[in-house]
A and B are shown apart, each in its own frame.
Chain A
Amino acid sequence: KNQVEQSPQSLIILEGKNCTLQCNYTVSPFSNLRWYKQDTGRGPVSLTIMTFSENTKSNGRYTATLDADTKQSSLHITASQLSDSASYICVVSAPPRVLTFGGGTRLMVKP
């Protein structure tokens, strides 16, 4: 069964600090991996999308990494801001276009 597990479930950090969110998946075959940011009560917004051949991709202060051999991905947030408080969702796609969503990590950035 295709599964996407995210850790930690929740995280509290101080403004200005860095953090790393983890995503482990068992989806096979693999097409691509996406990270989304979801503010409370809003729709998810795309941060990055990576294919099998990509190891890292950045979007501003967000950097995603992918190790397709170990089926792990991480999302690193640099110099966190209060506006980074949200849920971060890892989504893995299998051909033809089957998406499996992780349960998300809830990040709270405190001043």
Chain B
Amino acid sequence: DGGITQSPKYLFRKEGQNVTLSCEQNLNHDAMYWYRQDPGQGLRLIYYSQIVNDFQKGDIAEGYSVSREKKESFPLTVTSAQKNPTAFYLCATDRGSSGNTIYFGEGSWLTVV
């Protein structure tokens, strides 16, 4: 099946730990995005990538890092510098042109323990 796969679905992080969320797509889309969703708030852009080996900061990039070594993969690392990481994280992709439908993954819940 074509689509976007995020893993893990649920993740717990201890204080001071870095954790990495995986996002893989087989839609052959150029653009990939990471969003953070908090209860009652709109999605906020963390990082995005429009092409392999290139990525740009979004509105709330502090405390996060990404890489885009392959077209299919766009992992997000939540570093210990992110002081309030508990949230629902969504990966998305599109073809890279305005007006294209954006496809979202199923999301990953990250909780700090």
Contacts and interface: CB of A to CB of B under 8 A. Distances in A.
Contact of B42 (A9, A41, A43, A103): A103
A49 B45 contact: no
A12 interface: no
Interface string A68-108: 00000000000000000000010001011101111110000
B107 A43 contact: yes
Contacts of A51: 99
Question: Which range contains the number of A residues in contact with the other chain?
Answer: 20 to 34
Contact of A103 (B6, B41, B106): B41
A46 B45 contact: no
Interface residues of B, number: 22
Interface in B57-104: 88, 90, 92, 98-99, 101-104
Contacts of B45: 99
A46 B102 contact: yes
A31 B106 contact: no
A43 B104 contact: yes
Interface of A: 4, 9, 31-32, 34, 36, 41-46, 49, 51, 89, 93, 95-97, 99-104
